[in-house]
Amino acid sequence: MVIIGICGGTSSGKTTVAAKIKAEIGCSCEIISQDCYYKDQSGKPFKARVRVNYDNPKIFEHKVLLEDVRALMRGESITRKGYDFELHVRADTDEPIAPPDVLIIEGIHALYDKELCALMDIKIFVSVDADTCLMRRIKRDRAERGRHTDDILTQYEKTVKPAFDRFIRNYEAKADISINNNKDYTVAAEMIIAYAEKKAGVLCGK
């Protein structure tokens, strides 16, 4: 199994890049979003859940994600994890994920855990200018997560931008490939797909 890690700031285009690779690759491919591995906050009052820093790497269940990836590598199926961003609670599902030829792991801290990074065949960092990221985040959080613009801006100022400056920007040094999402990244995506297909083919005896 070939494992691709895709990291980058909020709304930088990680999910879009992952979806493009999955849509165009010529072998089985699954995407796991790190967002589905947020720690459950159901034990806290809702007002306290809202105040949690969801941009700090410690808010994720890194060990659970690592265990799921290792299970897939052993040829075992797992169930897809989920998260309710309006209620700030886990929303895991019974949907099975069978071991694919190519596994994509995407998230703001996808390159945080050393053990997970060691399993990755390709590490990608997606960058885009800050203004574009903020505009995309406002549109996404309003449409998909039921949030108000003032709350989005407050969170961006208090936790999102500081987390990018402290942690996320430094992941680029760990990446094998850096994609500038301000520009057309078709060539970069094609290179990644070609590499993954070749390696998956060798591993699968094709």
Tell me: the pLDDT tens digits for 46-101? 999 989 999 999 999 999 999 999 999 999 999 999 999 989 999 999 999 999 99
Delimit the domains of the chain by residue range.
Answer: 2-198
Residues present in the chain in total: 206
How much is the pTM?
0.89
- Fold topology of 2-198: Rossmann fold (3.40.50)
Return the pLDDT at 202: 60
Query: Is pLDDT above 90 for 8?
Result: yes
- CA-CA distance, 141 to 132, in Å (whole number)? 14
**Greater model confidence, 165 or 137:** 165
What sign has the CA pseudo-torsion 73, 76, 80, 81? negative
Which is it for strands 89-90 and 83-84: parallel, antiparallel or unpaired? Answer: antiparallel
Q: What is the pLDDT of residue 134?
A: 81
pLDDT at 166 over 80: yes
For the segment 10-34, what is each residue's pLDDT rounded down to a tens digit?
A: 888 899 999 999 999 999 999 999 9
pLDDT score for 182 = 66
